[in-house]
Structure formats: C-alpha cells, structure tokens
Amino acid sequence: MPFELPKLSYAPDALQPYISKQTIDFHYGKHHQAYVNNLNNLIPGTRFEQATLDQIIKEADGGIFNNGAQIWNHTFYFESFSPAGPREPSGQLATAIANSFGSFGNFKEQFTKSSVTLFGSGWAWLVRKPDGSLEIVQEPNAGNPLRNGMVPILTCDVWEHAYYLDYQNRRPDYLQAFWNILDWEIISKRF
C-alpha cells in the first residue's frame, strides 16, 4: 500500500495572512507530495516496503529515512494549524509548559529562539522526554526526535521553503506569524 499525501483539514487560503495560499500550494502541494512520491519510489524491494513511517524514522537511513521522516514531519506540522483554534494551551499541557519553562510566554520565547537560530534547514521541536518533562530540541534536515525515544508535541519547519515566498529571508517574521495559526486543542492532545 503506497503512502499517500494526507488531506488538509482547512482550505489552502485559510491561514492567510500568516501563511499564504501560494505557500500552501508549494509547501504542501509540491514539497510534501514530493517526499511521498520519493519514498514510494525508494521502498520497493527493501525491508521497508511494508513499514510504517515510525519504523522508518527509527530504523532507516539515507533517502528512505530522509523522505519518510519528511512525510511524518510535514503531516505533523500541517495538522498543528487551524484558522480559528485556541492560541494558547490548556489543561495538562499548559501545566507542563509552566513547570518546564516558567510560563507560556517564556516557552514561546525559547521555542522562537531555537527556531530562528537553527543553522540551515531543519525543525525545532517541543518534545516530551521519557521522564515526562518537556524540552525544546533542534533537529537538522529531516531529523525527528522519535528516533531518540522522545514524544513530539509541536514542531516548526524552518527550511526556507516553509517561509521564503511569504517572508523571504525573514525567518523571525515567519516565527511571529506561526503563533497565530497554531491550534492548541490539537496540540494538547499529543501530550
């Protein structure tokens, strides 16, 4: 069963003005689709032919890892957004963020800094560690913290293709916009 591009739960223009329809058309419609196509071309005849993306992230290397992890990462990223969800966490995740970072404001500041300072292409992550505490980690390229036994809660794609059409080289402006489209009801369920 080949991998498929998951459907978005919102229209391509629903995240405007923060992320344009043009960016969704390219980032989701072209880049995300390309990772799906690439993986489907790479796995026939390998031991990953029937694997899940989680297995691929934990066990594969090279092109199979890169494309499999990029599918997972992009699905997780695009699923974090909605045009009208709550823009702050609640419940247990809100408590855990306050315990680990002092406040939601401090967390936003640290996550933004981690995203803006990540050199080159990659992903910033909020993860739950095995002891239940939260941490912000940077992963280069297609990196995914599942590979290190951590549970992803939130991610920000800082590859230039995620923001260049809307913000050109201004990654900090993209991060500022990012907080306005996150749906913390969806994100809180991951904790």
Give residues in contact with Mn ion (CB under 5 A): 157, 159, 162
CB of 161 to Mn ion, least distance (A): 5
CB burial of 165-182 (b: ≥16 within 10 Å; e: otherwise) equals bbbeeebeebbebbeebb
E-only strand ranges, the chain: 122-128, 134-140, 151-157
CB of 28 to Mn ion, least distance (A): 9
| Closest to Mn ion by CB, 47 or 170 | 170
Distance CA 85, CA 63 (A): 35
| Closest to Mn ion by CB, 139 or 157 | 157
| Closest to Mn ion by CB, 100 or 155 | 155
Distance CA 172, CA 68 (A): 28
CB of 171 to Mn ion, least distance (A): 13
- Cβ(67)–Cβ(35) below 8 Å: yes
| Closest to Mn ion by CB, 104 or 121 | 121
CB of 127 to Mn ion, least distance (A): 19
